[in-house]
């Protein structure tokens, strides 16, 4: 019996950026219709010293991938060319060392899909 859920996670990548973490997850519906979820998760310290996460999610469907990438690249190019100093552009262009956890996971390293997992459980 095929016990698949409404969506299957195909690929996942996490990018840590200060107090924020971004998740890029490729998923498929039962009908093999692919889409991407982009989640921003920000850690919050509550008044009672507990921690919570504020999350914002974007669903991007395959028919919009190219338009999205083009618009994102146009916006980044505008910032680089019109708003940043040459020093700031040079800083953006310098090679970076990434934590292994920020690299795409190989298929064998990916956990089985769990619809109840928290995006912060990596």
pLDDT in tens, the chain (122 residues): 344 445 667 999 999 998 899 999 999 988 889 999 999 999 988 889 898 999 999 999 999 999 999 999 999 999 999 999 999 999 989 887 766 555 554 444 544 444 444 444 43
Spell out where the chain has E strands: 7-17, 20-29, 34-45, 51-61
| Contact (CB, 8 A) for 27 and 12 | no
pTM, two decimal places: 0.67
């Amino acid at each position: 019996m095929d016990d698949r859920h409404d969506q299957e996670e195909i690929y996942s990548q996490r990018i840590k950026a200060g107090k924020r973490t971004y998740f890029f997850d490729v998923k498929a519906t039962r009908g093999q219709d692919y889409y991407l979820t982009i989640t921003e998760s920000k850690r919050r310290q509550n008044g009672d010293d507990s921690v919570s996460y504020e999350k914002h999610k974007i669903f991007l469907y395959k028919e919009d991938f190219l338009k999205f990438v083009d618009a994102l690249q146009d916006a980044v190019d505008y910032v680089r060319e019109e708003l940043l100093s040459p020093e700031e552009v040079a800083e953006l262009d310098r090679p970076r060392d990434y934590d292994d956890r920020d690299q795409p996971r190989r298929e064998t390293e990916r956990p089985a899909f769990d619809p109840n997992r928290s995006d912060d459980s990596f």
